[in-house]
Amino acid sequence: MIFRVLRGLAAVLLLGAALWVGARGQGPVPPLGQLLDPVNGVWGPVTHASLPRRAAARIPGLSAPVDVRYDDRGVPHVFASSEPDAYRALGYVVARDRLFQMDLQTHAATGRLTEWAGRAALPLDRETRDLGMPRAAEQKLAAIDTTTMAWKVMVAFAAGVNAYVDGLRPWQVPIEYHLLGVRPSRWQPIDAIHLFNRMGWTLTYLPDEAARYAARAMVGDQAADALFPLNSVIQEPIVPLAGKAPRFDFTRLPPPGRPDTGAARVASLLRSVSPPGELAAAGDRRHLASNNWAVAPSRSADGHALLANDPHLDLTLPSIWYEVQLVVPGKLDVYGVTIPGAPGVVLGFNRDLAWGFTNTGADVLDFYRETVDDTLHPAKYEVDGAWRPLALRVERYLGKHGELLATDTVRYTYRGPLMHRFGAWVSMRWTLLEPSREVTAFYRAAHDTSTREFLDDMAQGFFVPAQNVLVADRRGHIAIRSTGHFPIRPRGTDGLEIFDGSTTRSDWTGYWPVSAYPQAFDPKQGYLASANQQPEDPRAQFAYLGDERAFDPWRALDINRLLRADSSVTVDDMRHFQTSPLSVRAELFVPYFLNAAKGAVPDSSLDRAAAILRNWDGRYTRDNVGAVLFEEAMRRLRDNTWDELQGPSGERVATPSDDIMYDLLQQPYSVWWDTKTTPAVEDTRDMIVVRSLLQAYDSLVKRLGPPGAGRWAWDSTARVNVRNLLGIPAFSALGLITDGGQGTLNPAPGHSMGPSWRLVVDLDPAGLKAWDTYPGGQSGDPASPRYADRIPQWLTGALSPALFPASAAALPAGRTSATLTLDPEARR
């Protein structure tokens, strides 16, 4: 009897516990029922990891059936009879492959990650909402003219996504939802704006003025301003130079001066509003290293214009890009990549032209020190002697089960969000928070037929993040324009200071006219190239766009040299250029190491180090020994040279760029070479250069053994990591080996950023041809064979021809891997 009672009790307890853990989860354990169910749980997407050969679905609002053909690379080619239908289908097919990614981006962009991850995500969400991003998206949405095609496109796209979400069978729910124990959300038209805001945040929220202020606190204003100048020392701008290029604008660096005590506080304040992560840690924007270039028919082997683009962004799985073609006969025929959630093709080509972006790196964000009525709980702020009420917005953060985690009140001046940092109330004006029309720009661009038309459409709608928009057309024209809203600041100021918020005299007075944008059309030199360098020669036209830390000259030197040297460029050359491991930066610096070593006291280690550099071909190839030594020597050179910028804790507060280092190398007896810990001025350039090389060699021998032992290979010290969006190593591709290094055109190793897409287009008047790849795959399902299938190809630098059929019938049957028929939902 007791046994029966105990057994019954055990059954009750076990059943209760199993149901509880199955339905609700416990602590870090997600709901086990939803997870472990062999049909509808996490195994469902594994069982259905490949798209079925044939599928059909009904979408509300379609005017006619849409035929979607997936090619053998998993690219959907959408054939629709109207544009709204095409964008509806786009929403459906992107959701079908990337639903979780879209949802995650929206949660991140709206500051709602806590609803999935709980309290741990609160700091990230607070940052997003404190910056006013969700509010800005709502304002942008409210300003949209709902009679425009852009609005119709946004609505159609959302309807397509929601048709997929609403029709989701349990086994189609992506794995990540099971792991997190959450459900997919429906898509709203505003989510496209959130997505563009998020992209703008990545590419423009880089308030790196802090470096200059931190340096001022150590070495005074004059020296700091010289170490962190507005213009690049090396000029190879996007708008071709009038004279010989490149040009080196060397200047004598003034000696360290008296510390500016007030600057330290400003630097701390600015750092407190900087984003977390690699970019902030690196202290500059140079990791956002994208390339694009175009060659005019006069310099191409086949007499056609050629275009190449490789935007460098965070390398993630699934990839940031999704490849697609949209066809509406007689109206639209565009191919390229979209960001999942963006209602249109962001980068790509149509029948007449091709385009590509690189980040301009413009400073489009300013801070204002505000005067408020109450230092703890301000309700008003003073402008021109009058008090204005602060706009208040209550932000509520919910947890996984809808419980309230926190409530904040975010205050706004007319300039933007107000933040309390280091005892000061600081407001922010940022172009990202202002009206823009990206969807309109991309919609129109997809229809354009000439370079001029394309650039003008982009200029009228694409305001942020500012991009170097390169375009080439089938008639042989090439053009580039740095496009975006560039603020006009008060005369005599730049964006590097914190402005006085109590007067409207500090305000922006507008944006640059399009005619003032850096731009070039069909240049005499027969090619155009951008690689995040300073867009325009400051001697030709100086207007503040940002300081030189935003601009990287090295890849611009690399690509311009390659293009100058080749007057008969082929498609294959373009592909090889994209993955060139050759470094002009190395070529410029290595002679200084070798000359200094030659004049130094004989030393066996130094001789061996010099021999390695002497025999180095300047390439960052996988088994390269020289690249390993050079990068370590450069790191030591920075450490040994910029010791004046070390704070009390021994950490360097800011690091000048390597082009400033190159400038300093022209001044062998500058006091900057001297070690500050010794009282006398005794060190010269060559002493420091030799010391750095020796330290590098010795440390590498200690760490890796002698250079001949085989462990000094570049690929053993610098590898590529393509991380899963949730940071799950098992769903990531880590420790990948490829060529390239700092300052080369293919600078992926050693960073989590790299060429997120590679495109080469031959603008053949008889029919445009394109080749491309990206480091990932079309599917967002980690169990799918298409999750990361392109990575091996991407690592080798190979590209695949993009199939660009004008009709469904033109897609070869043998290249079709799956079909999807979308039918209008029957009227009720």
Contact criterion met (CB below 8 Å) for 688 and 673:
yes
Q: At what angle do helices 149-166 and 438-445 cross, to 10 degrees?
A: 100
Which of 36/810 has CB closer to other proteins? 36
Contact criterion met (CB below 8 Å) for 208 and 286:
no
Question: Least distance from C-beta 53 to other proteins, angstroms?
Answer: 13
Neighbours of 11 (CB within 10 A): 10
Contact criterion met (CB below 8 Å) for 481 and 517:
yes
> Which residues form the interface with other proteins (CB under 8 A)?
3-4, 7-8, 10-12, 14-15, 17-19, 22, 32-34, 36-43, 46-49, 170, 175, 179, 728-731, 782-783
d(CA 627, CA 256): 32
Which of 46/514 has CB closer to other proteins? 46
d(CA 335, CA 318): 20
Question: Least distance from C-beta 50 to other proteins, angstroms?
Answer: 8
CA dihedral sign, ordered 775, 779, 784, 785: negative
Question: Least distance from C-beta 34 to other proteins, angstroms?
Answer: 7
Query: Could you tell me which residues are beta bridge partners of residue 479?
Result: 471, 521
Which of 41/465 has CB closer to other proteins? 41
Which of 179/806 has CB closer to other proteins? 179
Tokens 């056609």 sit on residue: 304
Which of 47/568 has CB closer to other proteins? 47
**With the CA atoms of 552, 554, 558 and 559 taken in that order, what torsion angle do they form, in degrees rounded to the nearest 10?**
0
Question: Least distance from C-beta 403 to other proteins, angstroms?
Answer: 24
Q: At what angle do helices 122-130 and 83-109 cross, to 10 degrees?
A: 120
Question: Least distance from C-beta 43 to other proteins, angstroms?
Answer: 6
Which of 175/479 has CB closer to other proteins? 175
Question: Least distance from C-beta 97 to other proteins, angstroms?
Answer: 18
Of 593, 596, 595, 559, nearest to 578 by C-alpha is 559
Which of 19/809 has CB closer to other proteins? 19
Question: Least distance from C-beta 151 to other proteins, angstroms?
Answer: 39
d(CA 48, CA 587): 52
Which of 17/56 has CB closer to other proteins? 17
Which of 3/376 has CB closer to other proteins? 3
DSSP track, 132-192: THHHHHHHHHHTS-TTSHHHHHHHHHHHHHHHHHHT--GGGS-HHHHHHT--PPPP-THHH
What is the spatial order of strands in the sheet that 527-530 belongs to?
Answer: 527-530, 291-295, 305-310, 758-763, 769-773, 800-801
Question: Least distance from C-beta 785 to other proteins, angstroms?
Answer: 8
Which of 14/391 has CB closer to other proteins? 14
- Planar angle of CA 730, 732, 737, nearest 5 degrees: 120
Which of 29/56 has CB closer to other proteins? 29
Tokens 């690399």 sit on residue: 558
Question: Least distance from C-beta 730 to other proteins, angstroms?
Answer: 4
What is the spatial order of strands in the sheet that 733-736 belongs to?
Answer: 316-317, 720-724, 733-736
Question: Least distance from C-beta 724 to other proteins, angstroms?
Answer: 8
Question: Least distance from C-beta 114 to other proteins, angstroms?
Answer: 21
- Write the single-letter amino acid at 479: A
